[in-house]
């Protein structure tokens, strides 16, 4: 419930309003109160300051793929192989994440077309345990690549992650070379592999498949990096540049090919597929 609803409901002589969702949302960047419907219609981009809010896997797939795409079934992997427990059991964390999501884990794959071009799109959902990369994410990434190989089409991956999933230890880190092998297979097959870097893309994801694309696109002001700024600053003992690890800074220094507004993303990818997709035999 937002502040406006709380204040209104606290006034005794006014009838209380109840709604399944708030009518207003506060922009995390400029702090402006935005009408929820307007915010959603603007693809979760603040119309005042242009801040790109985070969106879930289903919203991302609907944004990029044409209607009628197929959603690949998410793989079932051995859960909690290390019987890990910190402040909570790993199994309890998974249950809590799944209660808020229609998907079993943080990586979803859709197979269809982008403006008529055959494509497979894999999306990492930060709202599911910070998009962390575990065995389920690594396996889903590879299944998406396999589908692209079988369809002989482009593989587009949208990254959003805090890094590897610590509850799976070395098994989560093994997803890095596993995914890297699949990007190599795409390259050998002559199929485009395009990465869209959304906020945030960090840790082991950045150190593997997020930075191995033929083309790297970033959303405006997305946080992209491996280690955190404080760790880097304390290690090199130097003041970091303004905007360090943000999309525009990385674009200026050659780490990212282009920074594209969310509303233009599908059209930009479709244009690239015109150039990169293998020609079909007549």
153 is in an annotated binding site: no
Residues 110 and 250 in one domain: yes
CA atoms within 13 A on the CB side of 56: 11
CA dihedral 243, 244, 245, 249 (to 10 degrees): 60
Separation between Cα atoms, residue 167 and residue 33, nearest integer Å: 37
Q: Is the pLDDT of residue 279 over 90?
A: no
Based on the fold, state whether residues 87 and 174 are members of the same structural domain: yes
**Residue 66 and residue 141 in one domain:** yes
At 224-275, the pLDDT tens digits run: 999 888 888 889 898 889 889 999 999 999 999 999 999 999 999 999 999 9
What is the structure's pLDDT at 277? 76
Q: Report the chain's terminal Cα–Cα distance, integer Å.
A: 58
Tell me, what's the pLDDT at 281?
44
Write down the pLDDT at residue 18.
53
Q: Are strands 154-161 and 117-124 parallel, antiparallel or unpaired?
A: parallel
What CATH code is carried by the domain that includes residue 120? Answer: 3.90.226.10
Collapsing DSSP to helix, strand or coil, 45 comes out as strand
Is 83 among the domain residues? yes
Residue 138 lies in a domain: yes
Percentage of the chain beyond pLDDT 70 is 91
Mean pLDDT of 187-202: 97
Averaged pLDDT for residues 208-237? 94
Q: Could you tell me if 75 and 35 are in contact, meaning their C-beta atoms sit under 8 angstroms apart?
A: no
C-alpha 102/C-alpha 215 separation (Å) is 30
C-alpha torsion angle, residues 107, 58, 186, 164 (rounded to 10): -20
Give the pLDDT score at 56: 96
Write out the H or E segment, with its range, that includes residue 135.
helix 135-151
Q: Of 153, 254, 248, 155, nearest to 195 (Cα)?
A: 155
Enclosing H/E stretch for 119 = strand 117-124
**Which residues, 6 or more positions from 256, have their beta carbon under 8 angstroms from its beta carbon?**
197, 216, 217, 218, 224, 247, 250
pTM over 0.85: yes
Q: Is residue 196 part of a domain?
A: yes
How far apart CA 147 and CA 166 sit, in angstroms, is 28
d(CA 3, CA 169): 41
Residue 282 has pLDDT above 50, yes or no: no
pLDDT tens for each residue of 99-140 = 999 999 999 999 999 999 999 999 999 999 999 999 999 999
User: Is residue 75 in some structural domain?
Assistant: yes
Q: Tens of pLDDT along 47-66? A: 999 999 999 999 999 999 99
| Residue 154 sits in the same domain as residue 231 | yes
pLDDT at residue 5, rounded to an integer: 60
Number of domains in the chain: 2
Please report the pLDDT score of residue 181 as a whole number.
Answer: 97
Which domain covers residue 28, as residue numbers? 22-51
In a domain, 11, yes or no: no
What is residue 268's three-state secondary structure?
A: helix
Residue 13 lies in a domain: no
Has residue 68 got a pLDDT over 70? yes
Give yes or no: residues 42 and 97 share one domain. no
Q: Which two tokens stand for residue 127?
A: 């709202």
**Same-domain status, 66 and 40:** no
What are the contacts of 266-271 at 24+ separation with CB within 8 A?
A: 266/63, 266/64, 266/114, 266/115, 267/115, 268/217, 269/64, 269/114, 269/119, 269/156, 269/194, 269/196, 269/217, 270/114, 270/115, 270/116, 270/117
Kindly report the average pLDDT of the chain as a whole number. Answer: 92
Residues 241 and 271 placed together within one structural domain of the fold:
yes
Are residue 154 and residue 35 in the same domain, yes or no? Answer: no
Q: HEC states along 12-38?
A: CCCCCCCCCCCCEEECCCCCCEEEHHH
Cα–Cα distances in angstroms (integers) from residue 26 to residues 56, 128, 254, in the given order: 18, 22, 33
Rounded average pLDDT over 188-206: 97
137 and 91 in one domain?
yes
Is 1 a member of any domain?
Answer: no
- Residues 85-110, mean pLDDT to the nearest whole number: 96
Domain shared by 107 and 126, yes or no: yes
Are 138 and 60 part of one and the same domain? yes
Last residue of a domain, one of 30, 51, 72: 51
Share of the chain above pLDDT 90, in %: 84
Crossing angle of helices 175-188 and 135-151, rounded to 10°: 10
7 within domain boundaries = no
């Amino acid at each position: 419930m937002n502040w406006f609803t709380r204040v209104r409901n606290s006034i005794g002589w006014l009838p209380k309003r109840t709604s399944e969702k708030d009518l207003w949302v506060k922009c995390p960047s400029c702090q402006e109160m935005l009408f929820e419907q307007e915010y959603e219609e603007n693809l979760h981009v603040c119309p005042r300051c242009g801040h790109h809010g985070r969106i879930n896997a289903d919203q991302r797939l609907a944004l990029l793929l044409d209607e009628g795409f197929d959603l690949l079934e998410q793989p079932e992997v051995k859960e909690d192989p290390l019987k890990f427990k910190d402040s909570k059991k790993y199994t309890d964390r998974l249950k809590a994440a799944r209660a808020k999501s229609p998907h079993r884990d943080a990586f979803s794959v859709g197979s269809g077309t982008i403006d008529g071009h055959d494509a497979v799109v894999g999306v990492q959902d930060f709202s599911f345990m910070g998009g962390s990369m575990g065995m389920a994410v690594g396996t889903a990434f590879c299944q998406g690549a396999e589908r692209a190989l079988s369809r002989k089409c482009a593989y587009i991956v949208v990254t959003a992650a805090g890094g590897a999933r610590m509850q799976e230890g070395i098994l989560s880190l093994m997803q890095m070379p596993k995914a890297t092998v699949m990007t190599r297979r795409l390259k050998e097959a002559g199929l485009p592999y395009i990465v869209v870097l959304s906020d945030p893309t960090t840790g082991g994801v950045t150190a593997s498949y997020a930075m191995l694309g033929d083309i790297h696109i970033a959303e405006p002001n997305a946080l992209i990096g491996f280690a955190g700024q404080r760790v880097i600053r304390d290690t090199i003992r130097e003041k970091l540049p303004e905007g360090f690890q943000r999309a525009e800074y990385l674009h200026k220094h050659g780490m990212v090919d282009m920074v594209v507004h969310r509303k233009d993303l599908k059209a930009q990818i479709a244009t690239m597929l015109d150039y990169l997709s293998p020609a079909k035999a007549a």
